[in-house]
Homo-oligomer: A and B are copies of this chain.
């Protein structure tokens, strides 16, 4: 049975790093920005436009209907609808193709039928600011306040984007199997324990499937 791990994460919490390291440890594929590229290719829009819609910098109307993606969108919502449809299709293609770790893109909701293991990664603001600073490109000089503002903005966009797909709030514990706080501890230290947890969970799921 397919093993899909989805990672949702607060900006700066190290969720992407955890996803990458976990995929390596599990020996399975890892998908992150590749998804945006693929959506852009499939929908015919520029990558930056797709990214903008997915981060809710570009406005659209809520079109979720229960947990199902509704394609009956308003006409002026057509661009976004194409992007959502492409996102839906690409995530399904990836999940059907191989075991993988997928970061973001509401994969936990969109791939629900694959029974993914859903992780939420978070941290306190100080840790997130520190991590952003460590990973900043050379020449970037934001104050702590500016970084905090950016972190809140990105997370607010992610929360809004998720509302298009699910009635369960972004970051709300019931949407995830495990919520991991990375405050004050390097992500690389946590990978082995998260790996153990995920393995145990998939093993149990397989046993249940066999019994059915």
A-to-B contact residues, CB < 8 Å: 120, 122, 124, 171, 173-174, 176-181, 183-186, 189-190, 192-194, 196-197, 199-201, 203-204, 208
**Chain B minimum-CB-distance residue to A199:** B193
CB-CB under 8 A from A178, the residues of chain B are 178-181
Contact A181 B189 (CB under 8 A): no
When distances are taken between beta carbons in the complex, the residues of chain B under 8 Å from A177 are 181, 183
Q: In chain B, what residue has the closest Cβ to A174?
A: B124
User: How distant is the Cα of A208 from the Cα of B186 in the complex, in angstroms?
Assistant: 11
User: In the assembled complex, which residues on chain B have CB atoms less than 8 Å from the CB atom of A196?
Assistant: 192-193, 196-197
- Residues in B with CB closer than 8 Å to A192 are 196, 200
> Given A174-B122, A193-B196, A197-B193: A204 and B179 within 8 A (CB)?
no
Q: Is the CB of A189 within 8 A of B173?
A: no
**Shortest distance between the CB of A17 and any CB in chain B (Å):** 16
Residues in B with CB closer than 8 Å to A120 are: 173, 179
Q: Which of B122, B185, B203 contacts A173 (CB 8 A)?
A: B122
Whether B174 pairs with A173 at a CB distance below 8 angstroms is: no
User: B176–A189 contact, CB under 8 A?
Assistant: no
